[in-house]
Amino acid sequence: MCGLTGILNLGPGQDSLEPVLKRMADAIRHRGPDDQGIWEDSHAGMGLAHRRLSILDLSPQGHQPMISASERYVIAFNGEVYNFNDLRRELDALWENTESGMRARWRGHSDTEVMLAAIEQWGIANAVKKFIGMFAFALWDRKEQELSLVRDRLGIKPMYYGWQGDSFLFGSELKALKKHPEFRREINPDSVALLMRYKYIPAPHAIYKGINKLLPGHILTLKKSNPHATPQSVPYWSMLEVAEAGVTHPLVESEEDVIAQLDSILRDAVKLRMISDVPLGAFLSGGIDSTMIVAMMQAQSNEPVKTFSIGFNEEGFDEAPYAKKIAEYLGTDHTELYVTAEQGMGVIPRLPTLYDEPFSDPSQIPTFMVSELARKKVTVSLSGDGGDELFGGYNRYIKGRDLWKKISWMPKPGRQLLATSISAIPSRVYDRGLSWMKPILARFGRAGDMGHKMHLLSDVLSAKSPEALYLHLISHWTDPVSLVKGAVEPSTPFSNGCHWGKLTDFTQRMIFLDTIGYLPGDILTKVDRASMGVSLEARIPMLDHRVVEYAWRIPQEMKLIEGESKALLKKVLYKYVPKEMMERPKKGFSVPIADWLIGPLRGWAEDLLDERKLEEEGHFNPEPIRRIWGEHLSKKLNWEFRLWDVLMFQAWFRNESAEK
Q: Which of 2, 81, 345, 577 is catalytic?
A: 2
According to DSSP, the residues that pair with 141 across neighbouring strands are 73, 146
Query: How many Å apart are CA 46 and CA 229, to the nearest integer?
Result: 17
CB under 8 Å to 10, separation ≥6 — which residues?
Answer: 45, 166, 167, 168, 227
Angle between helices 189-198 and 640-659 (to 10 degrees): 150
Torsion of CA 213, 215, 217, 222, to 10 degrees: -70
Q: Which residues pair with 3 in a beta bridge?
A: 51
Helices and strands in the chain, H and E counts: 31, 17
Cite the beta strand spans of 318-438 per DSSP E: 333-339, 380-382
Amino acid letter for position 87? L
Where do the H-state alpha helices sit in 166-254?
174-177, 189-198, 239-248
- Strands 146-151 and 133-141, by their bridges, are antiparallel
Q: Are 542 and 387 in contact (CB under 8 A)?
A: yes
CA-wise closest residue to 591 among 580, 599, 581, 603: 599
* Distance in angstroms (rounded) separating the CA atoms of residues 198 and 150: 25
Contacts of 479 (CB under 8 A, 6+ apart): none
Please list the alpha-helical segments (H only) found in 273-359.
Answer: 288-299, 320-330, 341-346, 351-354
**Angstrom distance (rounded) from CA 41 to CA 29:** 23
Determine the distance from the C-alpha atom of residue 18 to the mean position of all C-alpha atoms in its chain, rounded to a whole number: 32
User: Considering just the CA atoms, what is the radius of gyration of the chain in Å?
Assistant: 25
Instruction: Taking each helix axis as running N to C, give the angle between helix 255-272 and helix 545-553, from 0 to 180 degrees, rounded to the nearest 10.
Output: 170
Q: How far apart are CA 307 and CA 320, in angstroms?
A: 12
Query: 556: buried, middle or exposed (CB in 10 Å: 19+, 13-18, 0-12)?
Result: middle
Element (H, E) at 638: none
Q: What does residue 118 show for φ and ψ, rounded to 5 degrees?
A: -65, -40
* Residue 230 per-residue DSSP state: P
**Strands 160-164 and 212-213: what pairing?**
antiparallel
Angle at 167 between CA 166 and CA 172, to 5 degrees: 160
Q: Which residues of 355-373 are buried (b: 16+ CB within 10 A; e: fewer)?
A: bbbbbbbbbbbbbbbbbbb
> Is 498 considered catalytic here?
no
Residues identified as active-site? 2
